[in-house]
Homo-oligomer: A and B are copies of this chain.
Amino acid sequence: MSHQPKLYLDKERCKRNISRIAQKANENNLVFRPHFKTHQSIEIGRWFRDEGVEGVTVSSVEMAKYFIQDGWNDFTIAFPFYKGMIDGLKEIQNKAQIRLFVNSVEDISLLNRELKKDFKIYIEIDAGYGRSGISINKMDQIDLLVQAANDGKFSQFHGFYIHDGGTYKARGKNEIFERVEDSVDALRKLKDHYPNASTSLGDTPSASVLNNFDGIDEITPGNLVFYDWMQVQIGSCSPNDVAVYVEIPFAQQIDNEKAIVHGGAVHFSKDFIEQYSNRNYGQVFQIFDNKFKPDDGVYLSSLSQEHGTVFGFKKSIIGDHNSIKILPIHSCLTVNLFDVYHTTDGEIIQKRVLS
């Protein structure tokens, strides 16, 4: 009987996810520089170190500072550089190497004036996804940035980085292959142009399913440490690879198909996927013999601050437990809303609280 919503972590699955991708990177001669934004935990970070990981990727200066506490000393800050970062970067540089995403010649100059220690520059490329980075079609601009990075007193051009957010819209492996094609082509084109540059691909679906990494030197997936129900739908993994879930108290049966649970937007955030002709904010599942069995058509159909509505509710789901297990739609956002992990074998694992 759960007293309040709790975040659970299956350590064995999590370590298996880390180990699998580390091995895949090794077999394909890829640098594995994982993104630590998903777990935000010093203890889980150590499981990557056990697999030989030395450099990591973070999404903010504050996140780098958190991991420096445990001796990490080589960070990619995978967010477009902005001036407000400077004081934090100086602080980090006292203890660690940094690689930055810089998008303008002016900012490269600024950084060389402000930072008095060496740093490396990735040029973030937009191969069509359209979030951040420089369009692959602007080769002139890219050439100028490479030149400026190499001309800087402290800066050195390191390579090209693409986070292909488009693969998150795929449904099935073949669609992942199709959707990542533009990104892989862009990296290969850049590699032809700059043979010594490192090329880096960021997303979890590609890292999970690609077999041919020609032209790619580095992968930086974050989500695959845990995966989630969205990644199952994308085709990145199976339900038995998902390493986190939330257990929430059952509160009230409303009618034949709906129940109210204590689990809302402050526990899951509000990411959803379109599924079951509706919005699915969290997938109900059960555990039998260590296997995760999703209950088809049973899901969180709406969330308010603390309330969740489970659609397709069946009494058999709760049995004698008075609680329901939910696979999060987006584990990065769900995990961010809890202060600790409860492992399925009864330990508590600390994490960073709030970003």
Contact = CB atoms under 8 A, between A and B. Distances in A.
Interface residues of A, number: 53
A82 B250 contact: yes
Interface stretch (A15-23, A58-66, A173-181, A234-242): A58-66
A84 B254 contact: no
10 contacts: A1-B83, A4-B60, A4-B84, A80-B260, A83-B322, A131-B302, A266-B333, A270-B333, A305-B332, A354-B354
Contacts of A333: 265-266, 270, 305
A84 B249 contact: yes
Contacts of A353: 339, 353-354
A165 B265 contact: no
Interface of A: 1-4, 37, 59-62, 79-85, 87-88, 103, 130-132, 165, 249-252, 254, 260, 262, 265-267, 269-271, 302, 304-307, 309, 322-323, 332-333, 336-339, 353-355
A84 B132 contact: no
Given A79-B262, A337-B355, 9 more contacts: A59-B306, A84-B322, A85-B249, A269-B269, A305-B336, A305-B355, A337-B337, A338-B354, A353-B353
Query: A-B pairs with the 3 shortest C-beta distances?
Result: A270-B270, A266-B355, A80-B252
A307 B79 contact: yes
Contacts of A79: 251, 262, 306-307
Contact of A132 (B81, B103, B165, B307): B307
